[in-house]
Structure 1
Amino acid sequence: MPQQHNTNSTTSGAGYFFQGLQLAFQPGTRRFVLIPLVINVVLLGSAFATLLTHLSGWIDNWLSYLPSWLEWLSYILWPLLAIAALVSFSYFFSTIANWIAAPFNGLLAEYLEAKLTGQTPPDDSFKALITDLPRTMGREWTKLKYYLPKAIGLLILMWIPAIGQTVAPILWFLFNAWMMTIQYVDYPFDNHKVPFPEMRDALKQKRGQALSFGAVVMLLTMVPIINLFVMPIAVCGATAMWVDHYRSQFKRY
């Protein structure tokens, strides 16, 4: 008989990620983790190998746009721009990986939610995966449409001298942390067919928790080797967050 999850409403967003680390490798869960893990390893491994090869040259070129009277800032800005580049690569390739792995991440979230709430997972999960594929891909497209206009605005901001090399990288990190939370918490929301605007508004009500979860995911996605394991762990942590904070709110779905 599945054991019910002990709700802890005081867990921080960051705490849910590390709770996901425990959940992802429990017996029964590991088989649902395997496919997302393989997809993440292949895509992020290749992306970061490319990034580490070219990063220094890209940043030096970017800093060449600084006015001469601000050249002294280059020593401060180099690490900020490195972080911005890491964030960009991390989010971009994580998004691609999540598009490919979305049906399997949804299945992982569905199984884990059933386990955490003491229910029996549906027997037709794999059949439902195929049936729900168009809806799942449509949801990923909705997230991309939400992301792109804001991302383009921030990228334009990065080309403004001084502002683009100072404030913009910080805003870029915060925005992508927010998007990481949306990306992963949306799997259990979408399993219950909660509309995207309602999911987004629910996260805004607990913005601090959402940002801290996304920030940890974002930071660890920037760390080589560790980033290969982030996707399934984040799905598990986000599902635990859904069970503790949102599931009862959306029982009507």
Structure 2
Amino acid sequence: MQLAQGMEYFFSGFSLITRKGLKRFVFIPLVINILLFGSSLFFLYDWLVQGFDYLNTLLPGWLSWLEWLLWPIAVLVILFSYSMVFTVITNFIAAPFNGLLSEKVELYLTGQSINDDSLSDTLKDVPRMFAREWTKLCYYIPRALGFFILLWVLPIFGQILWILFTCWMYNVQYNDYPFDNHKIHFKQMKADLKSKQGLSYGFGFAVFILTSIPFINLIVMPVAVCGATKLWVENYRINYRT
């Protein structure tokens, strides 16, 4: 079943990040994710505490029990929505390092380098990588706003669509790195991912679940890059070999 196979590709990233020759390329994306994700969650928790303290000043004493009901709801909403938004931001910053990690994982898996670019040529390619991240951001924002509004208008139906959209975006976000390393257009990349929707949503769902788990989410980014690269090598790479 493609859904299960897609999830397996993500989890394969856990073993890949520990492989000799790849660990040093995992280090920088991992540090970026830990620093940004970890610090932002700390400030977000502080903001929630202050928000609930303010709410308690507005509620009469006999409604103070509402805090115990609202806390888990607020935490769940944050875990399932904020995580995706922050992932987009973090990956924007870490794009050059994620691209390099994906390139080295592909070399490890296939024994063939993508190109013979020098360090200076690689550095010159950084603006193109950021431009690609901007393309993904422009793709994400209007759709996220639409699904977020629907989430409040039709809560149950909107929640299902929001989860599906989030899984799709996680899939796009991480699978784009190996595609982009081969200079494959964003539109073509989306078409390829849609052609194997079971793999795509299975992979995205695994990222979605692990990103929602505190502390584990700190290592999801390099794991997902590695897993997505393996998915590319075994399912899409053959279509672009010359």
TM over 0.5: yes
**Pairwise mapping of residues 190-229 of structure 1 onto structure 2 (< 5 A)?**
190-229=180-219
Any idea what the Cα deviations from partners look like across 1:30-76, whole Å, max 9, x if unmatched? 11111100100011102222334455858xx8xxxxxxxxxxxxx7x
2:4 and 2:116 mapped to 1: Cα distance?
Answer: 31
Is contact 1:81–1:169 with CA below 8 Å preserved after alignment?
no
1:179 Cα deviation from its structure 2 partner:
0.4
SS in 1 for 2:123: helix
Is contact 1:83–1:169 with CA below 8 Å preserved after alignment?
no
Number of positions where the alignment pairs a residue of Structure 1 with one of Structure 2:
227
Any idea what the Cα deviations from partners look like across 1:180-230, whole Å, max 9, x if unmatched? 110000000000011111100111111111111111111111111101100
Change (3 A) 1:51 1:215: farther
Is contact 1:37–1:228 with CA below 8 Å preserved after alignment?
yes
Any idea what the Cα deviations from partners look like across 1:90-139, whole Å, max 9, x if unmatched? 11111111011100100111111111112257564643331111111111
**Pairwise mapping of residues 79-94 of structure 1 onto structure 2 (< 5 A)?**
82-94=75-87
1:172 and 1:85 mapped to 2: Cα distance?
Answer: 13
* Root-mean-square deviation (Å): 2.5
Which protein has the bigger helix share? 2
- The equivalent position to 2:158 in structure 1, one of 168, 173, 176, is 168
Instruction: Give the aligned residue type for 1:198.
Output: Q
Task: Confirm whether residue 106 of structure 1 aligns to residue 114 of structure 2.
Answer: no
Task: Confirm whether residue 40 of structure 1 aligns to residue 36 of structure 2.
Answer: no
**Structure 2 partner of 1:65:** none
Instruction: Give the aligned residue type for 1:183.
Output: Q
**Pairwise mapping of residues 108-187 of structure 1 onto structure 2 (< 5 A)?**
108-120=101-113, 124=117, 126-160=119-153, 163-164=154-155, 166-187=156-177
Identity value in percent: 49
- Give 5+ residue unaligned stretches, structure 1: 1-8, 62-74
Change (3 A) 1:195 1:124: closer
**Structure 1 partner of 2:15:** 22
Is contact 2:4–2:202 with CA below 8 Å preserved after alignment?
no
Is contact 2:98–2:222 with CA below 8 Å preserved after alignment?
yes
**Structure 1 partner of 2:178:** 188
1:159 and 1:11 mapped to 2: Cα distance?
Answer: 31
Normalised by the size of structure 1, how large is the TM-score? Answer: 0.81
2:162 and 2:71 mapped to 1: Cα distance?
Answer: 15
Normalised by the size of structure 2, how large is the TM-score? Answer: 0.84
